[in-house]
Amino acid sequence: MTESAPAPKQEPIGQTPVRRSTFRPRAPGHAVDVVRGANLDAVGSDRPERPRKSELERALDTLAKTPPDEAFLAVEALHRFDDDAVLAAVEEHFPGPLWFDRRHLKSLPTAIQVSALGCALVGYGELSVPALGRLLVDRGPEPRFYASLVCQGIADTRLLRPLGRVALGSDAGARTAALAALKAQAKLAGYQGLLAWMRQVAVGQKTRQVWRVRSLAALAALGDATALDVMLECLGERDRSIARAAHDALVVLTAHDFGTMRLQWRRWRKAQGNLPRVAWLIDGLSDRRDSIRRHALDELERISGIALNLPADAPRAAFLEARERFTRWWQTTAPR
């Protein structure tokens, strides 16, 4: 990683064909004895042979060229080899030929939509975790992005810390992918500890500004309702970059917007702050701003699994109907 966030508590060949030498003397009167042969180069020295590929390498070559609908059959074929050898080779060549173009993404691919090598990591499950951890920490932004996508398909506490670091890293795409992966880890025992670390980063007066800003954005994207007071505190920062980041985070977290002054937010906090975040989002469906209503709907659809498929130009009345629908859903599913 170019910028590290503070760490949380790889055909057989036959004989080489005879080719005519193109070597020429470098100056008049300078002669070179040209010797031609299957294993000799133009000036008579031994020509090294390309090493033969191992059976594992050939299997990996086959896997890398496999289309998405056949990938897991190719992954199964790898199980006749030593697991450590397979995973070391997959890690070395990851992500391999990709199945999508990152430059034209409309939504993030799932863990098994990245590449055949990505499917191999998912297929090996928890055995892949050490390799994924190294890909997230020791490689550049591109491998981190693809590794984070793969992590959506593997829930393991050991991935929390490296994903948390990527979520605060310098590459925006990798941050987005890491946050998507962290949402898939939300039920793990160490997840709340990771959120607590991010909250500490957000308020740390001696922490670099950029990490504080990214921590606020990450907490909001992860829907951490316990970060509400942290965001309100940061809203009053003299550093306006942090204050603006806190305001943006509050809007994302609550699906409300009371501006950049703390007074209005504190009044709302007193009245509604102890309610679950779902209640904030349901209330946000009635907001008069299109962007707030759409954000609230997107979050509620993600959380509930209910897809209303409202068109982009849906009128406010449609969102009010959606509010009634999600209110009934919450009344039947909320913890008692």
For residues 85 and 147, what is the distance between their CA atoms, to the nearest angstrom? 19
3-class DSSP state of 50: coil
Q: What is the pLDDT of residue 105?
A: 86
Q: Where are the domains of the chain?
A: 1-8+52-189, 275-306+315-336
Tokens read off for 283? 């209330």
Q: What is the pLDDT of residue 1?
A: 45
Distance of CA 41 to the CA centre of its chain: 48
On whether the CB atoms of residues 121 and 90 are closer than 8 A, the answer is: yes
**CA distance linking residue 144 with residue 161, whole number of Å:** 13
DSSP state letters, 79-124: GGS-HHHHHHHHHHHTT-SBSS-GGG-SS---GGGSBHHHHHHHHH
Residues 6+ apart with CB under 8 A from 93: 10, 60, 64, 117
| 3-state percent helix, strand, coil for the chain, nearest multiple of 5 | 60, 0, 40
What's the burial of 187, exposed, middle or buried (CB within 10 Å: 0-12/13-18/19+)?
Answer: exposed
Phi, psi of 98 (to 5 degrees): -90, 155
Task: Specify the pLDDT at position 334.
Answer: 74
Report the pLDDT value the prediction gives residue 265, as an integer from 0 to 100. Answer: 97
- pLDDT tens across the length of the chain (336 residues): 445 566 665 444 344 444 443 433 344 343 433 334 344 344 444 555 555 668 998 999 999 989 999 988 889 989 999 999 999 999 999 999 999 999 888 899 999 999 999 999 999 999 999 999 999 998 888 999 999 999 999 999 999 999 999 999 999 999 999 999 999 999 999 999 999 999 999 999 999 999 999 999 999 999 999 999 999 999 999 999 999 999 999 999 999 999 999 999 999 999 999 999 999 999 999 999 999 999 999 999 999 999 999 998 999 999 999 999 999 999 998 775
Query: In sequence order, what are the residues at sequence separation of 6 or more whose Cβ sits closer than 8 angstroms to the Cβ of residue 1?
Result: 137, 140, 141, 144, 165, 166, 169, 170
